[in-house]
A = this chain, B = another copy of it.
């Protein structure tokens, strides 16, 4: 597993942390995605998605929400996984398919997806790649346990 990730596991029970030092909290009000380092990359557990955390809570600067932008190259994936807090995706650019509990949904600019808590969801980007905003009504990204479905 790449050194830059905290910990990974491939079965459903183990927790997965997608958080990296680069995603530390930012100035209180305004965060420009261009100034936020990309996390992620290619990994057998979660796929090839990369992401930037824009809004996140810490003990010093508590928030009640997490906001980030995920980026996918053509055909790249975020493999099926679950987490207890519900999540939204909002398509920004490109397109892809997000499968929620076995049901495929197209995502593209202007399409919002609501992912219920503990629903299995995975993403495959289209030929032109995909960017979407994602968010949780949670205090911090670090507190969210990503449970990846065991690879078939």
Nearest B residue to A61 by beta-carbon distance? B114
Question: Which of B29, B106, B115, B116 is in CB contact (< 8 Å) with A114?
Answer: B29
Do B86 and A65 have beta carbons less than 8 Å apart? Answer: yes
Output the residue of A85, A86, A112 with the most chain B CB within 10 A: A112
Give the secondary structure class of A's interface.
strand
A27 CB to nearest B CB, Å = 9
State how many residues of chain A have any CB contact under 8 Å with chain B: 36
Contact flag A135-B29 (CB < 8 Å), given A54-B90, A54-B112, A55-B114: no
Question: 1/0 per residue A12-41: CB within 8 Å of B?
Answer: 000000000000000011111110000000
Interface residues of A (CB under 8 A from B): 28-34, 54-55, 63-65, 67, 69, 85-86, 88, 90, 92, 100, 103, 105-107, 110-116, 133, 135-138
